[in-house]
């Protein structure tokens, strides 16, 4: 079997790190993209320990030129991209009536435009080769909505619409486009959210954490590795017929 290559954004920590490691263990060469050189160095060391080829790439997905450069570098050094995982994301909260435009623009720039830029850079090659998997990490919030997170929810809802629309163009070209919608995760992003809620409400950390756990059907926080397992399935031959779906975790 020829070498397979996965391009993972936001790969330095959390879900992105777990997905990058899972693909490395499955034998993929991994292009690990992110904005923090420190986190990329750490994940690259862990990836290299699996024995696969690894390429850390500094990239801000909100900047189209960064994405174009990163994709070209990955394909030059690791070969054509077989799996694109759009995981890079940011989350902030604010009451809608007082939310500033800059917060809105930040959420859409990273979460939605960043996903679009990566898809736009990678999918034409996938279509030409008649093979590929695109996996967008969306959010349960994009399906149901959460108070005080209008910009984040809108951006993730946009990711779901983008996923479904492009999937309809991809299904006859050997490419699938799917989304994964995690609930509250056991990651640094959730820790930051808990801290913001504690600061604004005066509630205890344990109380807020329990509230978030109760919002998940499992009544606990989701581990990043559980999301990585679903991503690995979507990249596998077993998921050839799965397209345009938004899978809850």
Show which residues are catalytic.
152
CA neighbor of 138 nearest in space, from 174, 163, 166: 163
3-state secondary structure of 84: strand
For the chain, first and last CA: distance in Å?
31
Two tokens at 109?
A: 């720039």
CA neighbor of 73 nearest in space, from 2, 120, 7: 7
Q: Which residues of 182-220 are buried (b: 16+ CB within 10 A; e: fewer)?
A: bbbbbbebbeebbebbbeeeeeeeeebbeebbeebeeee
Helix ranges, the chain (H): 14-25, 37-48, 64-78, 101-107, 114-129, 141-144, 150-170, 188-201, 205-215, 224-235
């Amino acid at each position: 079997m020829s070498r397979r290559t996965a391009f993972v954004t936001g790969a330095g920590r959390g879900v992105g790190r777990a997905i990058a490691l899972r693909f490395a263990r499955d034998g993929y060469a991994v292009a690990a993209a992110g904005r923090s050189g420190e986190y990329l160095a750490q994940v690259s060391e862990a990836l290299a320990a699996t024995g696969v080829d690894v390429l850390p790439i500094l990239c801000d997905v909100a900047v189209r030129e960064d994405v174009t450069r990163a994709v070209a570098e990955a394909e030059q050094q690791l070969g054509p991209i077989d799996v694109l995982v759009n995981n890079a994301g940011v989350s902030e909260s604010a009451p809608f009536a007082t939310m500033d435009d800059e917060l809105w623009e930040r959420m859409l720039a990273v979460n939605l435009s960043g996903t679009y830029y990566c898809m736009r850079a990678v999918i034409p090659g996938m279509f030409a080769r008649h093979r590929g998997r695109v996996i967008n990490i969306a959010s349960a919030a994009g399906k149901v909505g959460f108070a005080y997170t209008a910009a984040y929810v809108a951006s993730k809802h946009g990711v779901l619409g983008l996923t479904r629309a492009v999937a309809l163009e991809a299904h006859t070209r050997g490419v699938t486009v799917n989304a994964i919608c995690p609930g509250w995760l056991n990651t640094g992003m959730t820790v930051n959210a808990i801290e913001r809620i504690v600061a604004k409400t005066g509630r205890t950390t344990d109380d807020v954490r329990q509230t978030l756990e109760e919002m998940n059907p499992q009544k606990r926080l989701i581990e990043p590795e559980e999301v990585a397992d679903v991503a690995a399935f979507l990249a596998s031959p077993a998921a050839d017929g799965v397209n345009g779906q938004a899978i809850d975790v």
